[in-house]
């Protein structure tokens, strides 16, 4: 069976020293470098926000990062300014290998909408049309973009595995990572721990 790998948001801003650093996010780099050549196709996603993105606390006067507010009735976690398009923070980690990447998928590009999932655009249709039915997914952050991408992959009918050893999470509240993993399992994904 043809299997594709989706590497979620291994970007400078999500790695130590970045604007929204995921603890030990950079540990995923050597793991993906080793994994990539064994897949039929590799998709690398990038959070790619306009400077005034709705998810930034700075776009909401008086609000602070990591607060949650309601936007159109939906809870939205507010973040530090991160992954602004065409900035170094939005760049992929410099040590992530580039030679095996088949597609770069940018997301979060609309100012007014949060979109944690890699499947907000045409990715599912492209993968399906090229004969992919099975996806392995890992990256940053377990409790946000990985979670949303995995749940969408399952809902779109892909046989989906989460490479838990190649994920790191934000854990804004204790238990967020464990809850996200359980939601992905309940959504139909297989959790791979080693
Ligand atoms: C992400 C928070 C805000 C992620 C993106 O890649 O998981 N998290 N934007
Ligand atoms: Zn973001």
Identify whether 44 is part of a domain. yes
pLDDT confidence of residue 103: 97
Question: Is residue 28 included in any domain, yes or no?
Answer: yes
Residue 77 domain-assigned? Answer: no
Whether 37 maps to a domain, the answer reads: yes
Q: Give yes or no for residue 44 CB within 6 A of ligand 1.
A: no
The span from the CA of 136 to the CA of 150, in Å, is 9
Residue 32 is part of a domain; what is its CATH number?
3.40.50.850
Domain for residue 64, yes or no? no
Q: Which one from 107, 143, 152, 167 is the annotated catalytic residue?
A: 107
Number of domains in the chain: 1
Contacts of 72 (CB under 8 A, 6+ apart): none
| Residue 97 DSSP one-character state | -
| Residue 138: predicted pLDDT | 98
In a domain, residue 142? The reply is yes
- Any ligand 1 atom below 6 A from CB of 48: no
Q: Are 117 and 146 in contact (CB under 8 A)?
A: no
Domain that holds residue 149: 3-48+91-192
Classify residue 29: in a domain, yes or no: yes
Helix (H) or strand (E) holding 120: none
> Residue 9: CB within 6 Å of ligand 1?
yes
Helix, strand, coil shares of the chain, percent, nearest 5, are 30, 25, 45
Q: Does residue 58 lie in a domain region?
A: no
- Full pLDDT tens readout for the chain, 194 residues: 899 999 999 999 999 999 999 999 999 999 999 999 999 999 999 999 999 999 999 999 999 999 999 998 999 999 999 999 999 999 999 999 999 999 999 999 999 999 999 999 999 999 999 999 999 999 999 999 999 999 999 999 999 999 999 999 999 999 999 999 999 999 999 999 98
Q: Judge whether 145 counts as a catalytic residue.
A: yes
């Amino acid at each position: 069976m043809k299997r594709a790998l989706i590497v979620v948001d291994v970007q400078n801003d999500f790695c130590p020293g970045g604007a929204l650093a995921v603890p030990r996010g950079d540990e995923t780099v050597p793991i993906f470098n080793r994994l990539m050549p064994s897949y039929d196709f590799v998709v690398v996603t990038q959070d790619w926000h306009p400077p005034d993105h709705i998810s930034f606390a700075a776009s909401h006067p008086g609000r602070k990062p990591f607060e949650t507010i309601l936007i159109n009735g939906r809870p939205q976690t507010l973040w530090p300014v991160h992954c602004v398009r065409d900035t170094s923070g939005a760049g992929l980690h410099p040590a992530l290998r580039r030679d095996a990447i088949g597609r770069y998928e940018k997301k979060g590009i609309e100012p007014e909408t949060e979109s944690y999932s890699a499947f907000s655009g045409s990715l599912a249709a492209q993968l399906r049309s090229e004969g992919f039915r099975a996806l392995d997914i890992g990256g940053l952050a377990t409790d946000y973009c990985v979670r949303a991408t995995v749940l969408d992959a399952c809902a779109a009918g892909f046989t989906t595995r989460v490479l838990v050893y190649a994920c790191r999470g934000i854990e804004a509240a204790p238990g967020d990572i464990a809850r996200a993993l359980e939601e992905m399992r309940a959504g139909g994904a297989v959790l791979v721990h080693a």
